[in-house]
């Protein structure tokens, strides 16, 4: 029988491999010029789905595939705004959750078409704020989901943006985490999540987390999104 340490090492390797493949997918999307004006969000989502199948044999995603552009970037995950045609000067983000060999990836990035300085500044601030959130997590061993959420909101406001999300992250791995209710709030980086993030799950396995940042321009004209694994590597 394998030890818990060996089991978790295999889980970590699988999660990191899934994220690496998601990053490669997004790089290929950008490299092929698929993010372009004149295509609808749903059509682009379908193109990326097909590319994931071509590159990695991906046939399933654990959550709905999200392509949001323009004013739709203001919407949270659970919203279903009308399909929008991407414009020449748009900001847009991709949020995909492909399943690679039964392991979840959750990866989000923002892209800017055109030269709008404010949109580019927001896109540039996303990874910076994400990195600062991770640094805070690493510096506070007993941190709770609610405390990390509050800090990411504070970082966003200090940079001149609103925080647009209801959550700032969630558990990832083999855990089904599409609904928030009751005790399930402890599976999220969100208000009310009062348990320590560094803990074991009910099966005795180490919990691993996604950190996500959703920034919104103060006049609510557009937003952006960024997410990836928080506690790994």
Q: For residue 156, what is the domain's CATH number?
A: 3.90.230.10
Give mean pLDDT, residues 119-134.
Answer: 98
User: Residue 87 pLDDT > 60, yes or no?
Assistant: yes
Q: Is the pTM here over 0.75, yes or no?
A: yes
Of residues 102, 96, 130, the one with CA closest to residue 25: 96
- What's the confidence (pLDDT) of residue 70? 97
> Domain containing 81: what range?
4-229
**Local confidence band at 178 (pLDDT 50, 70, 90 cut-offs):** very low
Rounded mean pLDDT, 138-150 = 98
pLDDT of residue 230: 98
Q: What per-residue confidence (pLDDT) applies to 81?
A: 95
Confidence band (pLDDT; 50, 70, 90) for 3?
Answer: low
Q: Six-digit token pair at 14?
A: 């699988």
Q: Which of 106-110, 154-158, 204-208 has the highest mean pLDDT?
A: 154-158
Residue 232's alpha-carbon distances to 37, 73, 196, in angstroms, are: 35, 27, 17
Q: How many domains does the chain have?
A: 1
CB atoms within 10 A of CB 114: 12
Give the separation between CA 129 and CA 100, rounded to whole angstroms: 28
């Amino acid at each position: 029988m394998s030890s818990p340490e060996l089991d978790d090492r295999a889980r970590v390797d699988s999660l990191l491999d899934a994220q690496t493949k998601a990053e490669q997918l997004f790089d290929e999307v950008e490299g092929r010029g698929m993010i372009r004006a004149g295509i609808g969000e749903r059509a682009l989502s379908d193109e990326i789905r097909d590319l994931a199948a071509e590159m990695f044999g991906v046939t399933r995603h654990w959550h709905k595939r999200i392509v949001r552009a323009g004013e739709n970037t203001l919407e949270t995950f659970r919203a279903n705004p009308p399909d929008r045609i991407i414009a020449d000067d748009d900001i847009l983000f991709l949020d995909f959750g492909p399943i690679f060999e039964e392991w979840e990836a959750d990866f989000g990035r923002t892209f800017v078409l055109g030269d709008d300085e404010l949109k580019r500044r927001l896109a540039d601030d996303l990874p910076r704020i994400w990195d600062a959130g991770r640094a805070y997590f690493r510096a506070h061993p007993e941190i709770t989901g609610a405390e990390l959420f509050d800090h990411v909101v504070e970082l966003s406001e200090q940079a001149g943006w609103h925080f647009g999300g209801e959550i700032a992250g969630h558990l990832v791995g083999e855990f089904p985490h599409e609904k928030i209710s009751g005790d399930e709030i402890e599976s999220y980086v969100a208000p009310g999540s009062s348990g320590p993030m560094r803990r074991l799950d009910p099966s005795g396995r180490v919990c691993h987390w996604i950190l996500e940042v959703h920034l919104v321009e103060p006049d609510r004209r557009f937003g952006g999104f960024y997410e990836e694994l928080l506690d790994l590597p």
